[in-house]
Amino acid sequence: DAKTTQPNSMESNEEEPVHLPCNHSTISGTDYIHWYRQLPSQGPEYVIHGLTSNVNNRMASLAIAEDRKSSTLILHRATLRDAAVYYCILRGGYNKLIFGAGTRLAVHP
Amino acid sequence: DGGITQSPKYLFRKEGQNVTLSCEQNLNHDAMYWYRQDPGQGLRLIYYSQIVNDFQKGDIAEGYSVSREKKESFPLTVTSAQKNPTAFYLCASRSTLFGPSGEQYFGPGTRLTVT
C-alpha cells in the first residue's frame, strides 16, 4: 500500500483559510486520494476524495498536483468545529483504508 | 436514520476474559471493517469483510476474531490472547458499488478498558 506523509500538527485562526498538505510520492495510477477527519473521541468522518482533478464539496476543496505526488486539503474558512485530526489516505484496491498519524489541526478564536 | 451503531460506548473487563463488541449497520453496505486506535495514533485495521460469511485478516488480527453471519452485523471478539486489548475500537462500512472511490462510514466507537 502506498504511504502518505503529513505534518504532525498545524494551527489556524478562525475564519482564515487552511491548507493541509499531503505527500504521496509512491501513488499509483489507480489510487484515489481520500481525506477523513476525526474529532476527539469520535469515529472518523469522510471529508473529500479525488483521483486527478481538483474537487470541491460543501466541506472542503481538494487540490491535486499535476503529477499526483502531492495534494492539499483546503478549508476555506476555518471554524472552531474544524479542529480535528485530518488523515490523507490512498485507496487503490476495494478494501482497506490505511491510516497514518494524520495532521492535528488547532483552530484559534 | 441510516448509520452504524456500536455498543456499548464504554466497556470494562478483567484480564483473561473474552469480550465481544457489537457493530450493526442499516446502510445495506456489503463491506465492513474493524479498526483499533491507541492514544495519539492513527487507526489500524484488525479485520474486514467484503461479503456475508467471508472475512479477511487485517494488519493486527492476532488475538481477535470476527463473524459475518448477517449483512448488517459484524461483531468483534477480543480474546484473552490479545496482549494489549485496552484501546478505542471503531467499526466501519462501505458500499462496494463505487469501487475504490466509495466513502467509508464509521461508527461512534467503543472504548475498551481491560484491567
Beta bridge partners of A57: none
Determine contact, residues A107/A14, Cβ cutoff 8 Å.
Answer: yes
Does A94 contact B100 at a Cβ distance shorter than 8 Å?
yes
Nearest to B99 among A42, A43, A94 (CB): A94
Nearest to A101 among B42, B48, B58 (CB): B42
Residues 70-109 of A with CB under 8 A from B: 87, 91-102
pLDDT at A94: 56
Q: Which of these, B93, B40, B88, B87, lies nearest to B70 by C-alpha position?
A: B93
pLDDT at B1 over 70: no
Phi–psi pair at B99, nearest 5 degrees = 60, -145
pLDDT at A95 over 60: yes
At A18, which helix (H) or strand (E)? strand A18-23
pLDDT at A7: 97
Q: What is the mean pLDDT of residues A44-51?
A: 94
Mutate: best of A97, A103, A104, partner B, most B CBs <10 A: A97
Give the max Cα distance, chain B.
Answer: 42
Determine contact, residues A86/A106, Cβ cutoff 8 Å.
Answer: no
CB distance from A8 to chain B under 8 Å?
no
Per cent of chain A over pLDDT 70 is 94
pLDDT in tens, B35-61: 999 988 889 999 999 999 999 999 899
Chain B residues touching residue A1 (CB < 8 angstroms): none
Higher pLDDT, B101 or B93: B93
Does B31 contact A95 at a Cβ distance shorter than 8 Å?
yes
Average pLDDT, chain A: 91
DSSP helix/strand/coil, B100 = helix
pLDDT in tens, B9-43: 999 999 999 999 999 999 999 999 999 999 888 89
DSSP string for residues in A37-93: EE-TTS--EEEEEESSS-EE-SS-EEEE-TTSSEEEEEESS--GGG-EEEEEEEE-S
